[in-house]
Amino acid sequence: MNTAITIPARLASTRFPNKMLAVLPNGVPVIKHVYNRCIETGFDTFVVTPDKEIVDVIGKDNTLLVGEAENGTARCVLATEYINYTNFINVQGDMPDITADIIHSVHDVLQDYKVATAYTTMTDEQRNDPNSVKIVHNNKTAKWFGRGITGYGDHHLGIYGYKGFVLNSYKDLTQYPEEDIEKLEQLRWIQNDIDIGVVKVDFNGIEINTISDLDKWAEMYAQADNLV
């Protein structure tokens, strides 16, 4: 299958500036670690960034230096101006615990949908945390995403699959107020009547959104033997 992984990454993160270059306990920057995980899939993998410092970490052959974009999805749209694939898998650059199995699971679902994503089980603590991203679904398609949802929902993971032609349509879709309120760009697909296929996966890792998340990751894995 003609598929590429695109990893949108930028240094100007509001909650954790320069987190992509933060060094994990294995001595590898966050973005490089995520890239290393992604290439284990066998799919062509590119980091899509507006920052030359990230290019220096990954290397020119595997990065696409693009202009500024409103969000990660829009940054992946810019990538299609440089590379041509049938399918794109968007992996967030702050997911050091992403696995090849998760990526392939999303890729499998993408064969039946224009857009696909993954979720995993959520603890009660996460369900009641207004900062965690929840997904409401019917085991087939996503019905809603929200940070403010509390008490129910599953844990949405920052990985998406897109048919190339649908990804290119993103810039023409209507943006509704809820997307800005929740700060969740994936709502644009749902609110423009595009089904998002879902798949449940095993995920016991940490998505790094804040410095405290980085500390938690370090605490969890500092003694592990399989850091790569």
pLDDT of residue 27: 87
Question: Which range, 108-112, 126-130, 148-152, is most confident?
Answer: 108-112
Pick from 63, 92, 91: nearest CA to 79? 63
Average pLDDT, the chain: 92
Q: pLDDT tens digits for 192-212?
A: 999 999 999 999 888 888 888
Q: Are 3 and 86 in contact (CB under 8 A)?
A: yes
SS3 content of the chain, % helix, strand, coil (to 5): 35, 25, 45
List, in sequence order, the alpha helices (H) in 111-159: 124-127
pLDDT of residue 223: 59
Q: pLDDT tens digits for 54-76?
A: 999 999 999 999 998 999 999 99
pLDDT of 105 over the 90 cut: yes
Strands 154-163 and 134-137: antiparallel
pLDDT of 130 over the 90 cut: no
pLDDT of 22 over the 70 cut: yes
Q: pLDDT tens digits for 132-167?
A: 899 999 999 999 999 988 889 999 999 999 999 999
Tracing tokens 């403010």 back to the chain, one arrives at 148
Confidence class for position 224, pLDDT limits 50, 70, 90: low
Backbone φ, ψ for residue 156 (5° rounding)? -85, 135
Q: Are 98 and 14 in contact (CB under 8 A)?
A: no
pLDDT of residue 84: 94
pLDDT of residue 222: 66
Q: Are 156 and 126 in contact (CB under 8 A)?
A: no
pLDDT of residue 1: 56
pLDDT of 189 over the 90 cut: yes
What residues contact residue 109 under an 8 Å CB cut-off, 6+ apart? 116, 161, 197, 198, 199
pLDDT of residue 151: 86
